[in-house]
Chain A
């Protein structure tokens, strides 16, 4: 029952939107397609749904050639960023739509459809909203209706295209958690597209990172974070600081100190390594990158410090609220020392 995507290439008017993309989704897996806008993630989703055809490559689900199937026979539930609800239908009619358009032989009876709609309304916590129209709902409620409508056809795969993109931060966070619960309950293979790395890492079992139509890395959130394969993945998943160093196997040598290096392959020679804002120590003297403090701001669980190096490099450093950093003043001179660096 796994989804196998192999060697998909898609060009629009000579613009390569996707180049040789291959990945696999295991049954019941929650997969995120992560990438900046223009990376081809929505194109990929539309190919899976059958709304577009690739130039080359294959899509197989449970041994069936999906590219040969008409989109309406693929039984893929799709949730759009714009919700795409039918405005002239009530919430209940929207949810029932996928069942009522089936040919009469396969169509469930009226009472079965009603029961399905009620079950789904309950699932999306909108039991009393069946008779309302989409224009009478909030954005978050509309997106839940769109999800229920997609689930009503008992989909083999659920596809979500930036489902929370148009919602505000708090609603987004709630819906995200709730979507994960629904996924765990229904067990349907789910693929969702996002440009928000936090969302992808928070929700997905595995993340496919796309850049300019090509896969950069596929892995579990923790793997991506701790073992990024490319500079792009490292930079896309969070803030990073540059640090030129002489790399010698698993150690990076700086002026006066050395730290361990994390890299996909053993490296040697002069490299621009990178380090995360929280993999740092600050001191008022000793070895490290000399920098002047520009600003100190509370950023959630830690303090975020902006510093400017002697050569003009900007550094972002995170320190605990109760650390010595809290006593620093703007324009103080400090020495930044990474505790580990990444090299590519």
Chain B
């Protein structure tokens, strides 16, 4: 059988030839220099200069003081609590967020728009308000807490309370990352899987979920980053027992209140570095996923 002949070439394109890239300098918004200058000034004022100040601060009592602060048992315990529970909450949100996004895109039901708007509530609510109401609900005499009490589960004033608060603030990130991808998923791709003999479960796990993976990872990163830095909602429900339910951001505030500015900056820098490291790993994973031919 002869191969499908391609369009006859009128002249030969050299091997490895790439057309010149379109430059964006002159498109739509004029003044590349002006806009870049604005960008750098703005980012410096808002992000870079405060960050530089933070990086400069810890060293005023010498390296030894920094090491002592970082290796302090209480600091290490708080880092463990913050990162461990943030990770757990982001994982939990991965599943529930996907389920919520699925329901909101795939089904039509009365009240869908209201439910859709409710997802954004954790974005809008002052975190302290969220913390106080969650705490009240999950206290041993609260609506939900009183139901869990006979089962021996205590939420408020325990690490579990931190988990609940972090799940609350992280949910919209996953939902809003996944929702548009799911909504634009080509129905014909699912139908193709069906005609090829895939069961609904196989279609979900082998066709749809892999296509959602980059969006899920993005949502996970955002939810995790948010959870690590979360303060307002957590301190009301956590109980804040040192070594048990004390989060790193609270420790920073405690150090500030003790006028230990260098110590607070040290802890903050440690928190920042670790978060940055995690985000780099997540971004690398994202890159690998996109190398697999996904958008």
Interface residue ranges, A against B (CB under 8 Å)? 49-51, 71-78, 80, 82, 84-90, 97-98, 101-102, 123, 125, 132-136, 140, 144, 146, 149-150, 152-153, 170-171, 174-175, 177-178, 181-182, 185
Contacts and interface: CB of A to CB of B under 8 A. Distances in A.
B188 A80 contact: yes
A185 B1 contact: yes
B186 interface: yes
**Residues of B contacting A: mostly:** loop
Contacts of B189: 84-86
B20 interface: no
Interface residues of B, number: 29
B191 interface: yes
Contacts of B282: none
B294 interface: yes
Interface in B272-295: 292-295
Nearest to B214: A88
B5 interface: yes
Nearest to A175: B4
Contact of A171 (B3, B7, B196, B206): B7
A101 B1 contact: no
A90 B294 CA distance: 11
A49 B2 CA distance: 31
Contacts of B195: 49-51, 71-72, 74, 76-78, 150
A74 B191 CA distance: 13
B188 to A, nearest CB: 4
Nearest to B211: A88
A181 B186 contact: no
Contact of A87 (B4, B196, B293): B293
A72 B201 CA distance: 13
Given A86-B207, A87-B294, A101-B202, A51 B191 contact: yes
**What 6 pairs between A and B have smallest CB-CB spacing?**
A133-B293, A98-B196, A174-B4, A84-B192, A84-B188, A78-B195
Contact of A82 (B1, B4, B186, B294): B186
Contacts, number: 104
A140 B4 contact: yes
Interface string B252-270: 0000000000000000000
A153 B196 contact: yes
A137 to B, nearest CB: 10
Contacts of B293: 87-88, 90, 132-136
A87 B193 contact: no
Contact of B292 (A84, A133, A177, A178): A133
B198 interface: yes
Contacts of A125: 3-4
A77 B191 CA distance: 11
Contacts of B4: 125, 140, 144, 171, 174-175, 177-178
B1 A72 contact: no
Nearest to B7: A170
9 contacts: A72-B198, A76-B195, A77-B196, A84-B188, A87-B211, A88-B294, A136-B293, A146-B192, A152-B196
Nearest to A152: B196
B126 interface: no
Interface-centre pick from B186, B197, B211 (highest chain A CB count, 10 A): B197
A50 to B, nearest CB: 8
B191 A88 contact: no
B76 interface: no
Contact of B196 (A101, A174, A182): A101
A56 B8 CA distance: 50
A102 B191 contact: no
A49 B195 CA distance: 7
A90 B191 CA distance: 19
B119 interface: no
B71 interface: no
Given A51-B191, A125-B3, A88 B292 contact: yes
Given A88-B294, A136-B293, A140-B4, A102 B188 contact: no
A61 to B, nearest CB: 14
Contact of A102 (B186, B197, B295): B197
A80 B196 CA distance: 12
B292 A149 contact: no
B206 A101 contact: yes
Nearest to A134: B293
Given A87-B211, A170-B7, A174-B4, A101 B191 contact: no
Nearest to B291: A133
Interface in B153-207: 186, 188-189, 191-199, 202, 206-207
A88 to B, nearest CB: 4
Contacts of A89: 210
B238 to A, nearest CB: 40
A149 to B, nearest CB: 7
A74 B193 CA distance: 13
A80 B192 contact: yes
B213 interface: yes
Given A87-B211, A88-B213, A101 B186 contact: no
Interface in B65-103: none
Nearest to B206: A101
B285 to A, nearest CB: 14
Contacts of B188: 80, 82, 84
Contacts of A132: 293
A97 B213 CA distance: 19
Nearest to A161: B188
Contact of A51 (B7, B194, B202, B294): B194
Contacts of A101: 193, 196-199, 202, 206
B196 A149 contact: yes
A134 B4 CA distance: 19
A77 to B, nearest CB: 7
